Structure formats: C-alpha cells, structure tokens
Structure 1
Amino acid sequence: MQTYGNPNVTYGWWVGNAGVTNKTNRFISSHVGHTGVIAFSAGATTLWELGRYDPSVPMGSQGLVFIQHLASMGLGFDEAGVWTGVGVATIAIFHCIFSLVYGSAALLHALAFSEDTQDSSGLFAEGRPEHRQAKRFKLEWDNPDNLTFILGHHLLFLALGNVMFVEWARYHGIYDPAIGAVRTVFPGYGDFGVIWSHQFDFLTIDSLEEIMMGHAFLAFFMSAGSVFHIFTKQVGEYTTSKGAGLLSAEAVLSWSLAGIGWMGIMVAFWCAGNTTVYPTEFYGEPVSLQFGIAPYWVDTVDPQSSAWFGHSSRAYLVNFHYMIGFFNIQGHLWHALRAMGFNFRRIPQALTGLSGAQS
C-alpha cells in the first residue's frame, strides 16, 4: 500500500482494507463479516420478494431477482412442477441464520484472536498444532511460497463450490426452459473437449448439459490449480517477472477488482440474450444493446406494466451488472497503478504546472 513517503501512516475506520493491510486476522474478520452481510441481504431480500410475489403476473415483470435464481436452480416447485415458492422461505431463513454465524466468526477474529496470524495468540497456545497451522496463513507479501499456499486453498473451495453445483443438478435437477420443467442434468466430468470448442461463442450456449460440463471443467481445473499451489514452492530465483517487488495488498486488491469487474460485464452480456441460463419465464424477454454516454440495455417488449422502474427483471439485472463491472474495473486500474508505484499526487501538480506555463 502506498504511503507517499510516510512509513508511519495510520488509517481511520473508514478506509476499508487499507486499515488491515498487514493484520491478517483483521483482514479475515473484515471479509467474513462482509460475507455475513451478503448472506443476510440475500435471505432478507428473498423473504421480501416472496412476500410481494403475485402468481398472476409474470415473474420478470415484478421487480424480482433472487427468487428467479432459486427457480432457475429448480427450487420452489411443487410436486406437479408448478413454481409456488415451496421451500424458498426456508432457504432465505437459512441464509439469515448463517449471516449470524459469519458475523460471530468476524467478531471472533477481530476481538479474540491477535491482529496477525503470525502471532496467533488468543485461543491457540504457542506450540500447539493449531498455532503452527494458523501461522501458515499469514500474508507475507514478499514470500511467494506463502502466497501460493493461500491461493491454493482459495481455489480448493471454489472447486468444491462447482462440484456441489454439478452434483445438485445431477441428483436434484435444475430448470430446463426447453421443456418448462425441472430435470436432472449430468453430462459427466470427463468430456472437456466440448467446453474447449466454446471458447469464443460461450454466450450462445443453449444446452444445460454443456453448461454443467463447463462447471465440471472449472471444478477439475481449479482442483488441479489448488493441488499445484498448495504443494509446490517457488522455482528458481524470485525475480521481478515472478512478482518480486510487485506483490502487495494493493496488487491483490487490484486483481480481485479486475476479476469481479470482468465477471460483472460477462454476466451482463450473458443475461442480455441467453434464455437457457436466464429463462424468459423468470426474467422476461431478451433485451437490446443501445449506446449513449455508455452502453445500456432496454426491453424489446412491454414488460407488462412492471411496478418496478417500468422495466423487466432482465433489463435492470443486465444494466446493474454492467455498471458494477465497469466501476470495479476502474478501481482495478487505480489500485494496479498504485501497486506499480504510480503517484497520483503528481497529476494535480502536473496540471498546476501546465496551467502556470500557459499563463
């Protein structure tokens, strides 16, 4: 994190991750707490949407988003295959309860543990296996072996998430708009050649088998990456091309923002026209791309007098993801340049000098 020549800089409560740059447990606390906020907002908003849902009006015209995603996963259907919201309230309450669990874990890391896992005092006594294990997750920015070890565990949990989704589609089933019903989908874990052929036309995929195969591929790819990063060490000298002098909290933040940004933009284009992942029954008809000051999407048909901004769920879901993705990429560029040493304070100085030269 740049300090602009002040090695003893301090941060206020409002500066976000900057205040936990070299405090691993505080870093974990802030992220677990953030997860709790997300879980609570998902659960609470789902309950709110369920409470105002009107079965006589198309779901895509009611300003809803959360219950559509649950419906797409095959949740909320009765035994006759009609979407009634059965069990959705349970899922929402489950999220609210787990938000308390995440919140408690955040407080535990913030109050009971030491600020840095390297010190790992508190509940773990010096010399105990738990103490030694916790120390392995200390963020040491100039230690590539430490960072690759942590990255490997992140990839492991992402791989498990993909496996869970594939197995969910295999045993429970997901909604197939081609037949208008929930069905089980399991293309297997091995035929990745199909996914390889969709490198440039993935937005046009209209088969649930190929969609689930993509998740199976991600599970395999991330599992392989997880094993590689957990059990391997830096090969050869730690040079600038391998990250020496570049790895920092600000650099990691910039990469995270880039990932979120590009995912947001990709989802926007995917949601805009793909009716297999985003069925018209739940989101409304595909939307059309327009250009003004910035790209935006508009409904191609009347969303039947929607009471929510007058747009379909697909329209504002697409636009929201694009705007969030766009601003996250701007944040990525800002933090990436700072991580590379660019001093933004030179900009107003240069502009002042330019103005003085012109006068």
Structure 2
Amino acid sequence: MDINKEFELYQFEKLNQTLFLNHPDAIFLLDLEGKFMMVNEEVCRITGYDREELIGQSFEPLIEESMKAFTQERFQDSKEDKPQRYETSIVTENGIKYLDVTNFPLKNDTRILAIFGIAKDITEKKQKEIELEKYTALLKEHNDELEIFRKILAHDMRKPVANALGFARLLQGNLPESKEKQVKRYLLHTVESVDVMLRDLNELIALQSTGKESKEEVDVNKTIKRIVNFFQEEIRQANASVDLEIADNLQIHTIKAYFNSIIRNLISNALKYRSLDRPTMLSVKAFLHDAVITIIVKDNGIGMDLTNIGKELFQMHRRFAPKVAEGNGLGLYIVNQQIRLMGGHISVESEVDKGTIFTITLPTH
C-alpha cells in the first residue's frame, strides 16, 4: 500500500473515532452477548457509569424491569440482521431515563460481528407526555363528575319537583283544614329537600371549579335517617315497614352530594319496585370494618333476573321494569358512577319475586 493510501486510511479511522467519541447522542458497540465493547461520553453521562465500568458489562442490568423483556427481544432481532428502532427506559442514580434507541448489525461479508447502537435521551419529552396523560385523565375525571352533576339535577330533582307541583295543585282546591295543614307540611318538607340538594351540588361544583377539596365529614346515621324521612309519604302510601340498623357515630369523609344521591336512589327504587302481593319491607344497614363502611339496602320487592340483565344493570338508559314504575334508566348508572368516583364498590344480589340486596363499600377517607 502506498503512503498516500495509508495516510487516507489513518485519517478515515481518526475521523470515525472522533465522531464516535464526540457525537451528541449515545453511541455504543455491543458484542453478540450484549456486552459493551465501546461507548462514548454521552453513554457515560446518561447511565452515570465510567467507561471502564461499562466495558465488558451487559446492557441488561441497566434496563428498567418492565422494559427488559421487550428490549432483549429487540436486541435478539438485531442479531438476526433486522435493524431496530424502539423506545426503552433505564434506571440511573438520578431516576428513570427514557431512550430512543436504534440498533443495527455490524458485519463483514459472512457474519455479524457486533451490534451498533445509537441512543437519544428523550427523558424530558417522555416526562411531558406522561404529565399530559395524567392531566388528560384528570380532565376526564372532572368531566365525568360534571356529567354526573348534570344527571343528578335531571334525575334526582324530578321527583321532589313533581311532588311540590302535586301539593301546590292540591292547595288550589278546597281542602279540609286538617288536610290542608298536612299538605302544606309535605310541601314545605319537599321544598326543603330540594334546597338541600341544590345547596350540596352548588357547593360541590364551586369547590371543583376552584380546585379545593370537595370532600367533607358526613354523619351516616343522621344522613340516612333524614333521607328516609324524605320518603315518609311514599312509605305511608306503600304501607311499608323500614328497619334501620346503623352504627352510632359512623362518619365518612367523602363527597356529600354523591352519598346523599346514592341513598336516595336505592331507597326510591326499593319503594318503586315493591311487590303488590305482600307487605313492603325495606332495611338499611351500615357498619364500619377495617376503615371501610359497608351499607346494605335490602327489599322484598319484585326483584331482577340478574342472569339476563346483570351485565346491563349499571349501564345508561337501561330500564328493566317499565310497566311497574316510570323512570329514564339513569338511577343505577348514576349510583355506580358516584361510587366509583368515591373509590368504592357496589354489588347486587337479586331474585325475581323475592327481592334485591345492594351492598356498597366505601373508604372512610
């Protein structure tokens, strides 16, 4: 080889070495077992290891546990002469870092000698994506809550407003004095109940819009008794007996409007879907166990065939006994969504012509 060719080859090798060592991205060379053969300074900066610590060591211990299998598969594909580009993450002293990696085989005419790699640090970009995903999820949750507020207004408010209209029409007629006093009392109680619902919802919406904490202490015993009292006229008309078994001093730190709406819906359903073939019996139990409050609402009404309707029970606009009572199929959907947003769970047991049991579990905080 003449001296000019040797000089050109020397310059080419020096240029490659300079590019390798000073490239702004992480450049590395892996043997076929996945051990580092060469690394530049950017590899050292990203991983937090010196070149001497990396050379001869496998890349696998650097990879975050959840990404190991995926990253190993990409390395194996590279060994099979299939260039790869993918995202992975590594664990460093400064926390998790995210990388955009390109791997391709380095080979001669007959075989693959090593795997060449380029990795770009995309941690800042990935963290912004994660924050955006969290923000999107939070926004969806708030939108879900606002949608539930709307449904509460549309669904829960129908009954008391209809009652108030009915009482007002009665007062327009000629009623005996004793009957008139009774109707006025019912009307006042209904309007007060509407006022409580509106106040709860307005306060909750205002707190949500300002980002303040929307939860408060709720006395379970007093709240359930107040809601049962709200249905006294329906209970009287149904000649129903109501058994309350609620632990004293039972408190829950939760969304008050949701809690009220859940109990109202379940009691309303128990009275609406009662059986006309037997005296109506309704029981509400509430107790605390291991920081979880369990509420059981049981009736002996017409029941449901859960085998056929179980999967649709909590879906929107599903009505299962339209001939028995009016409704728009939102009640149980609203209840389920409220319980979900409160971090709780609801289960149902029911048998046709035997009755239904709703069991709700809610965290005390």
Task: Identify whether the pair has TM-score above 0.5, normalized to the shorter chain.
Answer: no
Q: Which has the higher contact order (CA 8 A, sep 6+)?
A: 1
The TM-score, its normalising length taken from structure 1, stands at: 0.29
Greater per-residue helix proportion: 1
The TM-score, its normalising length taken from structure 2, stands at: 0.28
Greater per-residue strand proportion: 2
